[in-house]
Amino acid sequence: MQEKPSYATGRTPIQTSDDPTMDFRARLAHQQAENAERRRFDLAEQSSRLKTAEERIRIWERLHEVTLPRDPEHRLIAIIAANTNLNVGDVREEQRRRAEVKLASAAATAAASATAGA
């Protein structure tokens, strides 16, 4: 590959090891490779039988930047189940578990507010 002459000097630029643009490109390529490897790992983990349903769904949520829908009939439930190697019932059970945790937390907050106000 023949380099084009620089308009400023009329000379062909020399690529050296201390060239900041080359360092940036190398770092960028390295970062992109690391990101791709992490994504491959996470995709494998989201369907690993070694992970609980909760863990698999949390990995799926992080990868897709979407939270588990609250509606048990939402169309994403089947997609999440397929991607996480779970059945639809497992995903719905996680929905129920999260709803119970949220209700318990709200009840504890309300009780704390009532005793603080008394």
Residue 93 pLDDT: 98
How many contiguous H segments (helices) and E segments (strands) does the chain have? 4, 0
- Residues 6-28 have pLDDT tens digits of 455 555 555 555 677 778 889 99
Amino acid, single-letter form, for residue 104: A
Domains held by the chain: number = 1
Residue 8 falls inside a structural domain: no
Q: Helix, strand or coil for residue 58? A: helix
- Residues 72-101 have pLDDT tens digits of 999 999 999 999 999 999 999 999 999 999
Residue 102 falls inside a structural domain: yes
What does the CA dihedral 68, 53, 86, 36 come to, rounded to 10 degrees? 80
- Does residue 56 or residue 2 have the better pLDDT? 56
Is it the case that residue 5 has pLDDT exceeding 60?
A: no
Distance between CA atoms of residues 4 and 21, nearest Å: 17
Query: Which domain range does residue 61 map to?
Result: 22-117
- What is the model's pTM? 0.67
Q: Helix, strand or coil for residue 20? A: helix
